[in-house]
Copies of this chain bind each other. A is one copy, B any other.
Amino acid sequence: MAPTRTSKPDKAAIICQALRRAIIEQALKPGTKLPEDALGERFGASRTIARHALGQLAAEGLVELRRNRIAVVATPSWQEARDTFDIRIELERLVVRQLAGQLDAGQIARLRAHVDAEEGARGGPDTVSIRLATEFHILLAEMTESPILIRYVSEISYRCCLILATFSRPHSSDCAISEHRALIDALEAGRVDEVMNLMHHHLEAVADRALVAPAKPRGRDIMDILAPYAEPAPVAPAGQPRVRAIMR
């Protein structure tokens, strides 16, 4: 009778969820190896399942998968980071465009409650603040009830989490909280243009606060450091890195 009892959720989905959280909370740092055996054993599942989960995570861009090689947590390049934020800005502008003036009292309350939770976590570790801030944005996306928007915003937000974890110095996410509050106010008031601009500048600010250009290219991988030297040897003054990051 009661089909309310949703069939037990995929084992693979559980592993995905766990890995996602671990990655965005930086428990698993970029580059960390993720062997299928180990994962399966850890979650009481077989390699087949772990493999499937890794495939999904790879499709989300959270892990890198190369044939015959152990999967690793993705290590976004700095340029990818910038591009990712550019995309995120446009996606989230769409979100607030749809939501402005359309939220009922309950939804507004839920948003405010979430921001309060963010405030409550201010003392704690950075990774938790980052996760909560990210979840605020996902919460917004979910209110559009647009499956595609929800999927894309969630995915790219998680990716941004990974990016922040990778590149940001110990930063204060305090400002984010007040910016979130401003967003809610503008949403409630239904001022479309204002809320789109607020979102735009909020995300730009997050990116700028966190994404310090790596002067010394972030130790980790030797090949990355050597990459520029693999080029045939630039003729023009070496600095100009192929335009990108347009107007800003």
Contact B61 A151 (CB under 8 A): yes
Shortest beta-carbon distance from A237 to chain B in Å: 16
A68 within 8 A of B: yes
- The closest CB in chain B to the CB of A149 belongs to B83
Q: Which B residues lie within 8 Å of A102 (CB)?
A: 242-243
- The closest CB in chain B to the CB of A147 belongs to B80
Contact B242 A149 (CB under 8 A): no
Count A interface residues, CB 8 Å: 38
Q: Which of A203-248 contact B (CB under 8 A)?
A: 242-244, 246
Determine the distance from Cα of A145 to Cα of B79 in the docked complex, in whole angstroms.
10
A84 within 8 A of B: yes
Per-residue B-contact encoding for A62-89, CB less than 8 Å = 1, 0 else = 0000011000000000011001101100
Determine the distance from Cα of A7 to Cα of B66 in the docked complex, in whole angstroms.
10
A90-B94, A146-B80, A242-B145 known; A67 vs B10 contact (CB < 8 Å)? yes
Contact A98 B55 (CB under 8 A): no
Contact of A244 among B10, B98, B151, B244 (CB under 8 A): B98
Per-residue B-contact encoding for A42-62, CB less than 8 Å = 1, 0 else = 000000100110011001110
A2 within 8 A of B: no
Contact of A152 among B48, B87, B146 (CB under 8 A): B87
The 6 closest A-B pairs by CB, nearest first: A59-B59, A90-B90, A83-B146, A83-B148, A102-B243, A84-B148
Interface residues of A (CB under 8 A from B): 7, 10, 48, 51-52, 55-56, 59-61, 67-68, 79-80, 83-84, 86-87, 90-91, 93-94, 97-98, 102, 145-149, 151-152, 159, 192, 242-244, 246
12 further contact pairs, Cβ within 8 A, besides A52-B52, A90-B94: A10-B67, A48-B48, A55-B55, A61-B148, A87-B91, A90-B90, A90-B91, A98-B243, A102-B243, A146-B244, A148-B159, A192-B246
